Amino acid sequence: MGFRKRKRVPFRSAAELDAMAAAGAVVGSALVAVRDAAKVGVSTLDLDEVAETVIREAGAVPSFKGYNGFPGSICSSVNDVVVHGIPSADVVLAEGDLVSIDCGAILDGWHGDSAWTFGVGELSQADADLSEATRLSMEAGIAAMVDGARLTDISHAIELGTRAAEKKFNRPFGIVDGYGGHGIGREMHMDPFLANEGEPGKGPLLVIGSTLAIEPMLTLGTVDTTVLEDDWTVVTDDGSRAAHWEHTVAVTADGPRILTPRPH
């Protein structure tokens, strides 16, 4: 009887990881530019133009634009929008808004994909806690990206990160049901799907060079969401605010490597 080779999360060479990091650095620069531009009275369409300009001036292409018909270069998700918000001249930022920006770029055929959440002006304590809890959950998932781990070890680490944040901030967070991270490389969304919660020790093996987009999404309330009539915008069913953090990450011999670095 023959032994099947254990399924592995797709992996890249060191040179290919460097190429992915170059694409990721473009994404990081676009996110920083968007955050700098996100002031009261600015529309999410304005932010989209900022991101597209940064991406194209770097010689890259916005991977979201035209993806299954999506019209923007970013997903701009404000307050109770979890993910996939369409940039619009009608969505104008106001003081205290919680803004999640997801952005992707293709450079030399390789994809970078990253997201972060920030406030316009002063955030409420609850919203600030929510964004930080989501970031900490992402960091916990990134830390689990090691050679020899199984896919759901990352899911479990993200879930534990969320539960630890609940204790830290003394408030509950909802782990959005049905959404998660993914494989990434020469395409933006590749197998495997990475859940943001679950039992450890299952799924394909991570090896040196395996790449995943790690992206927890948390809410201040429900785990349940609805897609609006535009077929994109995902909102919380109870109107509670949501946050979304994401990095593209690779497994290396020296530990996890973030391939979507942001300029300081």
Known binding residue 215? Answer is: yes
Known binding residue 111? Answer is: no
Known binding residue 224? Answer is: no
User: According to DSSP H, which parts of 58-200 are helical?
Assistant: 125-143, 151-169
Amino acid at 236: T
Known binding residue 244? Answer is: no
Q: Smallest Cα–Cα separation from 98: which of 78, 73, 68?
A: 78
CB 229 within 8 A of CB 113: no
Known binding residue 246? Answer is: yes
Count CA atoms within 13 Å of residue 143 on its CB side. Answer: 12
* Alpha-carbon span 56 to 62, nearest angstrom: 7
Number of Cβ atoms within 10 Å of the Cβ of 9: 24
- Where residue 123 falls (left for φ over 0; alpha for ψ -120 to 50; beta otherwise) is beta
Known binding residue 102? Answer is: yes
Known binding residue 156? Answer is: no
* Alpha-carbon span 225 to 144, nearest angstrom: 27
- SS3 state of residue 4: coil
* Alpha-carbon span 24 to 2, nearest angstrom: 40
Amino acid at 13: S
- In this structure, what token pair is assigned to residue 116? 């972060």
DSSP secondary structure, 193-258, as one string: EEESS--SS-SSBP-TTBEEEE--EEESS-S-EEE-TTS--EEETT---EEE-BEEEEEETTEEEE
- For the annotated binding site for a divalent metal cation, the residues are 102, 113, 182, 215, 246
Which residues belong to the annotated binding site? 84, 102, 113, 182, 189, 215, 246
**Known binding-site positions for substrate:** 84, 189
